[in-house]
Structure 1
Amino acid sequence: MTDPLAPWQQRAHDQALASLADGRLGHALLVCGPARLGKRAVAERLAAHLLDAHMPRAAHLIAAGTHPDFTVVTLQPNREGTRLRTEIVIEQIRELSEKLSLTSQYGGAQVAIVDPADALNASAANALLKTLEEPQPGRYLWLIASNPARLPATIRSRCQRLELRLPPRDEALAWLRASGHADKAAVEALDAARGHPGLADAWLRDGGLQLRKDVAGDLARLARGDAAPIETAQRWVADEDAALRLRHAADLALAEAAGLTDPARIRKLARWFDAANRTRDLLRTTVRADLAVAELLLAWRGDEVQRAGTGSRTYR
């Protein structure tokens, strides 16, 4: 909580703070923008500002998750405790609504964050709508969403919007360098992330950039017929990075489509992009992951071999 905000986060924070000072910040706020831009950090910093007047140690308590007037609703572990659920459920929202109906512990504001709000299931969304329709003084409900279009229009219409946007390239590079990344690596990662500094930073820290290169190499070998789809699929799903590999694969297809002018080829890549994302969703089900990924890679190789046979550029 005490770390400085990134420049694009600071702009969003200052915008909301100005609205708060002018009395223009309502009880419901939708904080949106691409994933990994720091929306939660901005929301928590705003919460600390609101709550600090009644509890000077608010920022530290929020960071520790122990502030009695600050609540976060997020994805919970499944029954087995092996992974997080994919939805926020109605019981969580009912518990939140009950807490917001109680008196503040420190006699001031109460702040609740729902993150990710775009993971609310239908029942939870309906319950949240009732809470939004009956605002109470001093209660602030902030929704964080990377895909706000997934929220019902009835919820979006009741929220003010605070949007975080990708920063200018120079600003993003300066931030990556200040975060300790070498210039060459920062440039390479930012280019691969298409200007997204948060994503570039994460890839540089957790090896995601190398994983992306490995996925690109696999797709190129499949296109040339130098790799077998089934064996490649088995390797892709053999560890915890299976979903991330598919995310990279989909993104690489999208990046290739962005540089093309052939409408037919663009449509094929768009369909494969959708298929890659559907396959990634299947990893959370009981479907055999290796077979689902193998089917996807067979479709990639079949299309790429046909294209190579016509003299078109092969995937790189």
Structure 2
Amino acid sequence: MKLAPWLDETWRSLSERLQHGRLPHALMLSGAGGLGKRALADALVAAALCESRGGDGYACTRCRSCLLMAAGSHPDRVHLSFEMRDDGKTPRTEIVIEQIRNLSQRLSLSSQFGGMQMAIIDPADRMNPSAANALLKTLEEPSGSTMLVLVSDQPSRLPATIRSRCQRIQINPPGHAQAVEWLRGQGIANADAERALTAMLGNPGRARDALADDTLSLRSECLRDLQALSGHRARALTVAEAWAADRPDQRLWHAAVLVREDAIQLAQGSRGTLGLTGPAEIPKLAAWFAAANRSRELLATQVRSDLVVLDLLHTWQTPRSS
């Protein structure tokens, strides 16, 4: 397994600590999605369970443990994420207490291979309050032969009591030049790499994915819709219905980024692209940017997506009707 180059320093530190037995019983990998946290967690777990690690700290991929890892059947590795609902048709949107209780019970048993037991909880910030409280009991009474790896895009959603009991490693986006170079190494043209990085706030993983699934086309649609709402050439209800019916989370992301870019342009004395006029609009843009991000979080709940989007778009248009 080869990690992204901006993770090299983090990997060297983790693999050295693993070699000397200095890893904590609970580790939290945090940062925006698309930066390789999950690949890092997988690499660490594989290395911890490998019977013959290489000089670079990575798992050998050939021993009994590695072969079981590749098959997804290693008895000392647990990966806890969303399970299916009781109907067996749709996945849950949160990690529930039963999952944590089952995990704690499993970790209380001895390792089947006589080494470490490794558990990944991903996304950890989607544990509901009861699940988080149950995990806290496990964190307060750690076993010397177990390690928990929590993966979180939004660690602020976790209780402070859990965050304080985990050693946190923050994964940040790489520099622009390194991000472009990495995207070019993925076979992406320089112009496309620059365009995607702008749209995805410098996140190379998300930029690659946006180019692969053509979600960047949504950016121009969102720009057109916000301009139409600003100029009262469209109704918030009509636009909200269209956004809610087709990738609402991604549309809200692009809308928030466009608003952020407008605020920067206005602060620099330039005219924005959304039909706004000057620096007096900047506080409104900042408030709407924050509201858009809160709305994206609501989309992961049971609240109706069309109502979430309508409420947000209504706040975009209403202040401009006066």
| Structure 1 residue corresponding to 2:253, chosen from 244, 247, 250 | 247
Summarize the alignment of residues 1-316 of structure 1 with structure 2, pairs less than 5 Å apart: 2=1, 4-53=2-51, 56-239=63-246, 241-261=247-267, 264-283=280-299, 289-304=305-320
The one-letter code matched in structure 1 to 2:20 is: D
Structure 1 gap ranges (5+): 307-316
Root-mean-square deviation (CA), in Å? 2.3
Deviations 1:259-290 (A, max 9, x none): 44377523212332343344445545666544
SS at match of 1:237: helix
Q: How far did 1:209 drift?
A: 1.1
What TM-score does the superposition give when structure 2 sets the normalisation length?
0.85
Deviations 1:7-27 (A, max 9, x none): 122322222112222332111
Kept after mapping to 1: 8 A contact 2:93/2:301:
no
Kept after mapping to 2: 8 A contact 1:28/1:159:
yes
Kept after mapping to 1: 8 A contact 2:18/2:48:
no
The one-letter code matched in structure 2 to 1:117 is: A
Q: How far did 1:243 drift?
A: 2.5
Relative to structure 1, the CA distance from residue 227 to residue 9 in structure 2 (aligned partners, 3 Å threshold; closer, same or farther) is same
Relative to structure 1, the CA distance from residue 281 to residue 149 in structure 2 (aligned partners, 3 Å threshold; closer, same or farther) is closer
Structure 2 gap ranges (5+): 53-61, 268-277
Relative to structure 1, the CA distance from residue 214 to residue 60 in structure 2 (aligned partners, 3 Å threshold; closer, same or farther) is farther
User: C-alpha distance in 2, partners of 1:234/1:155?
Assistant: 39
Partner residue of 1:312?
Answer: none
Q: How far did 1:69 drift?
A: 0.7
Deviations 1:93-146 (A, max 9, x none): 110011111121222111001111111122111111111111112211111111
Q: How far did 1:92 drift?
A: 0.6
Deviations 1:186-243 (A, max 9, x none): 111012112111110110111111112221221122222333322222222223x122
The one-letter code matched in structure 2 to 1:175 is: W
Relative to structure 1, the CA distance from residue 96 to residue 297 in structure 2 (aligned partners, 3 Å threshold; closer, same or farther) is same
Kept after mapping to 2: 8 A contact 1:48/1:59:
yes
Structure 1 stretch 224-233 or stretch 6-15: which is displaced more?
224-233
Kept after mapping to 2: 8 A contact 1:45/1:59:
no
Number of residues of Structure 1 aligned to a counterpart in Structure 2: 303
User: C-alpha distance in 2, partners of 1:176/1:150?
Assistant: 31
Kept after mapping to 2: 8 A contact 1:33/1:145:
yes
User: C-alpha distance in 2, partners of 1:264/1:99?
Assistant: 58
Partner residue of 1:313?
Answer: none
Percent of residue pairs bearing the same amino acid type = 48
The one-letter code matched in structure 2 to 1:293 is: V
Kept after mapping to 2: 8 A contact 1:72/1:114:
yes
Relative to structure 1, the CA distance from residue 6 to residue 57 in structure 2 (aligned partners, 3 Å threshold; closer, same or farther) is farther
Q: How far did 1:305 drift?
A: 6.0
Kept after mapping to 2: 8 A contact 1:224/1:305:
no
Relative to structure 1, the CA distance from residue 154 to residue 238 in structure 2 (aligned partners, 3 Å threshold; closer, same or farther) is closer
